[in-house]
Every structure is written in C-alpha cells, then in structure tokens.
Structure 1
Amino acid sequence: MFTGHTQRIHQYSYLQDNLRQKIVLALEHIMHDLTTEEKVIEEGNLWYNIIEAQTVLTTERQFEIHKEFIDVHVLLDGKEYMGYAHDELAINDLHMLDQDVYFGTTTDGRYLEMNPGEIAMFFPNEVHKPLCHLSGHSRKVRKAIIKIRQASLV
C-alpha cells in the first residue's frame, strides 16, 4: 500500500520508475478529463475510470483485492475513507472475477481519510475497501481509479 499526493508524485523516488511514469501519464489525462467513462491509455495494461459515487457506511461494503492489477485511487472531489487491512482476505464473492475483483472479509480493517488530490495505491493481493464513510451521512465523491497491470512493469 502506498499513499501520497498528486502534486508530489515526482518526489516519490522510491517508487519504481516505470510505475511512477504510468501514474504520471494517467494523471495528465485525468486532470483534463470531465467525463465519467473508461479511458484506455495502453490496451490491457493501463487505463482509468472517473466515477461519481456516494460513500457508504463501512459495514455496507466488502473488502476487495485484485490479483493482476495495481489499483490507484485518486480522490478528485469530496472526502472518503479508504479501508485497508494487513491480513488476508477470506474471499466469498466472485461476481466480478472477470474484472479482477475478489470480495470478502477480513478481521483487520482500518480506515484512512482521503481528501482531494490524495492517492491510495494497492498492489495485487493488498486488501482494501473504497468509498466509505465512518458515520453520519453519505458523501458524494468524484474520483479516478487507475488500473495498471503489474506484469507490464517488468
């Protein structure tokens, strides 16, 4: 798991160069994109979606993992809590398997507050839960989700 800010992405020298380059390339597209549709940058290896969604209580959403893709969440507007866990996911839902999304439960859930411009990146098999709020009312968010095939980085 990695967290950071879009304005400082060039300063994160500890990120693999080709990973950072793919994130920067996607961010250049995202910052000028007003649509909410999938945009392919490198067929099968790099694309993003911009979504507008409502957050839900943490108890109303399952944790997830991906096996082939690095999942980079970039909050553009609003505020969300991103769940994450350090233990393994007990997979119990394969309805989005064709999109490399596995849902399940964990006993180690924690939450990170995300504000506009912040990034949360999850590598394959890292447990996470996006679009949450801890209490109170649902919030509208606009965010980009960048997908990077891990095998494309070698």
Structure 2
Amino acid sequence: MIYDNIKNISRYFTLGEKFQKALEYLSSTDFSNIENGEYEIDGKNIYAIVNEYQTKPLSAGKWESHKKYADIQFIVSGIEKMGFTESKKTIVLTEYDEDKDVTIHKGEGQFFNVEENHFVIFFTNEIHMPSLAVNIPKQVKKVVIKLAIE
C-alpha cells in the first residue's frame, strides 16, 4: 500500500509503465466537473471509475481484495476513512468472484483518513476497506483507477 499527496505522484512513476500512465492521467485531469462513470485510459488494462457517494459507517464496510487489478483511489473532494490489513488477520467470507475481481474478508485492521488531493494505491491481494465515514456520513467524490496486473 502507498498513501501520498497528489503533488508527489511523479515519485511513483518508477512502479512501471502502466502505473506511470495511470498516475499521469490522475494528475493531469480536472475531475471536479467530470460526471460519474467509467472512463477508459488504456482499454480494460487501465480505466477510471468516477463516483460521488455518501461515506458509510464502519459497520457497513467490507474488507476486500483483488487479483486482477490494483486500485489507485484518489479523493477529489471530501474525506473518507480507509482500512488496511494483512491476510493473517482475516478469514475469507466470500470466495473470489472472477467476474467482479473481488474476495470479501472478515477481520481486523488499521484505519486512516484520506483527505482531498490524496491517493492510496492498493496492490493486488492487499486487503482494504474503502468508503468509510470519518465521523458521520458525508459526500465524497473519488476516482478509482483500476490497473490490470499481469
């Protein structure tokens, strides 16, 4: 997992060509006026999901992990809490769904706040819990870039 401010995004170009392409798109796009939806960056290899929603209480959160895609989650506006944990602290609740690229887990982990203009990279198989309210549910606009890992 990586957590940082968008102003430092070029530090992570060394993660590889796909990451550089995704991160350059993230840093060069003004998402404030972009509608909710899915946007191709490089076909299904790299695409962005723009979404506005109300954050949810911890009790409604789910630990998840992915096998095909890494997530780059960027907060355009608002603030949300995210969780991160190790597999040894969880059990599989729902087996891997290949169509949705997700495994659902149950367990414990650490939580941190992600503010506007900050991003988090969750690599494949890293267990995370996004979209949580910091204190009370609030509106957030977020971009999730899905990056296919071979």
Q: Same fold (TM over 0.5)?
A: yes
Q: Map 1:5-20 to 2 at 5 A.
A: 5-12=5-12, 15-18=14-17, 19-20=19-20
Change beyond 3 A, Cα 1:25–1:134 = closer
Query: What corresponds to 2:36 in structure 1?
Result: 36
* Mapped contact 2:79–2:134 kept (Cα < 8 A): no
Distance, in Å, in 1 between the alignment partners of 2:110 and 2:73 is 17
Query: What corresponds to 1:139 in structure 2?
Result: 138
Distance, in Å, in 1 between the alignment partners of 2:78 and 2:51 is 12
Give the fraction of aligned pairs with identical amino acids, expressed as a percent.
21
Q: Map 1:1-154 to 2 at 5 A.
A: 1-12=1-12, 15-18=14-17, 19-29=19-29, 31=31, 34-88=34-88, 89-93=90-94, 97-107=98-108, 109-135=109-135, 137-151=136-150
TM-score by length of 2: 0.87
SS at match of 1:44: coil
* Mapped contact 2:81–2:133 kept (Cα < 8 A): yes
Distance, in Å, in 2 between the alignment partners of 1:45 and 1:79 is 28
* Mapped contact 2:22–2:41 kept (Cα < 8 A): no
After TM superposition, the structure 1 stretch with the greater mean CA deviation from structure 2, 87-96 or 38-47, is 87-96
RMSD, matched Cα: 2.1
SS at match of 1:11: helix
Please list every run of 5 or more consecutive structure 2 residues that lacks an aligned counterpart in the other structure: none
How many positions carry a matched residue from both structures? 148
Distance, in Å, in 1 between the alignment partners of 2:97 and 2:29 is 26
Q: Deviations over 1:66-123 (max 9, x none)?
A: 001110100000010011112344222359641212212123x111111111001100
